[in-house]
Amino acid sequence: MQYADFGRFTHAVVRAIPESLTAEALRRDSASQQQVDTAAAQLETERYFSVLENTLGLRVVRLQEEEALPDCVFVEDVAVVCGDTALVTRPGAPSRRGETEAMKKALTDLDLNIVEMTDESATLDGGDVLFTGKEFFVGLSKRTNRRGAEILADAFKDYAVSTVPVLDHLHLKSFCSMAGPGLIAIGSSEAAQKALKTMQQMSDHKYDKLTVPDDAAANCIYMNLPGKGHILLHCTPEEFPESSKVFEKLKDHMLIPVPNSEKMKVDGGLTCCSVLINRPEKL
C-alpha cells in the first residue's frame, strides 16, 4: 500500500447483531450491570451500516448474525486486512473463534490472499491492531499475545510491527485509532498516554496526536475517499460532548457522528463493527 492510499476503501464487511448480545456478550468488567437495549443497539448498527453504504458509497458485505456467537457484530477482531492480504485471526476469547468461518468465506469471495492463524499458542484480536499506513502497532492484552503479533508480522512482511502493552483496557484501539494520515487520536488517561509514548519511542516515523478527553471517543474511523476527501466517523456529541469539540477542530475532515452508546456497554468501539477493504475494480 502506498501511503497516499491510506484511508482508501471500497468495501466493508459487517455483521448484524444477534439477540444474544444483550445477555451473553463478553464484558471486560463482568460486574458491569449496564443493560444493553437490543433494539436500540440494532438501530445504531443499521445507522452505521447506512453511513458506510449510502453516505460513503462503500460496497457493504453483510454477514448473517448468529445467535450462538453473541459478539459476532464485532467483526474487526476476526480479520486484519492490508493490501491484498487478509489475516484471519485466532481471537483471544475461545467463545469467539467460531466467528472466523463466515469472515473467511467473505474475504475469499473478495479474492483476497487468505492467511489463517492456525498456531494454537497464538491469540490475536483485530481490536489490538493499529495500522498507521507505515507500520503496525499490536497491543499485548488479555486477548492478544506475542505469538499472535509474530504471525501478523509474518503475514505483512512489508511493514514493521511493534508491540505495546495494554493493561487497563480491553484492546489497544479501546483508546486510540488513526484520525488521518500521520495523526493518532488518543485518549487522555494515563494508560493511553503511556501507550502512545511507547509507540512514539519504538517508531521511526513521526506522528501528530489528537488528544481527546474520553478514551472511548478516541476510537474513530478515518477514510480518504475519491470525491469526498478526508472523512472521520466519531462518537456523537451526546455521548462525548468534550471529545466532539476536539474533533470539530479538524477543519479538513468531513465529520460524521455515529451513535454507539449501546455497544459501548459491551466494550464495542466504532472500528469494531467493520472490516474495511480496498479492492478497486480490475481494469
User: Which is the catalytic residue, given 171, 230, 234, 253?
Assistant: 171
**Model pLDDT, residue 4:** 72
Position of cell 448484524?
16
Going by DSSP bridges, is the β-strand pair 160-165/221-225 parallel, antiparallel, or unpaired? unpaired
- Contact between residue 148 and residue 124 where contact means Cβ atoms under 8 Å apart: yes
**Known catalytic membership, residue 272:** yes
User: Which is the catalytic residue, given 82, 220, 272, 273?
Assistant: 272
**Model pLDDT, residue 26:** 85
**Model pLDDT, residue 32:** 59
| Grid cell for residue 39 | 433494539
Q: How far is CA 23 from CA 16, 96, 100, 135, in A?
A: 16, 15, 22, 38
Q: Which residues pair with 88 in a beta bridge?
A: 79, 116
Question: How buried is residue 226: exposed, middle or buried, by Cβ count under 10 Å (0-12/13-18/19+)?
Answer: exposed
**Model pLDDT, residue 283:** 38
Backbone φ, ψ for residue 100 (5° rounding): -75, -25
Whole-prediction pTM:
0.96
**Model pLDDT, residue 222:** 98
What is 3-277's CATH number, 1.10.760.10, 3.40.50.300, 2.30.300.10, 3.75.10.10?
3.75.10.10
**Model pLDDT, residue 33:** 66
CA dihedral sign of residues 188, 194, 199, 204: positive
Which of 129, 40, 117 shows the shortest CA–CA distance to 82?
129
- Contact between residue 148 and residue 171 where contact means Cβ atoms under 8 Å apart: no
Residues in the chain predicted with pLDDT less than 50, given as ranges, are 283
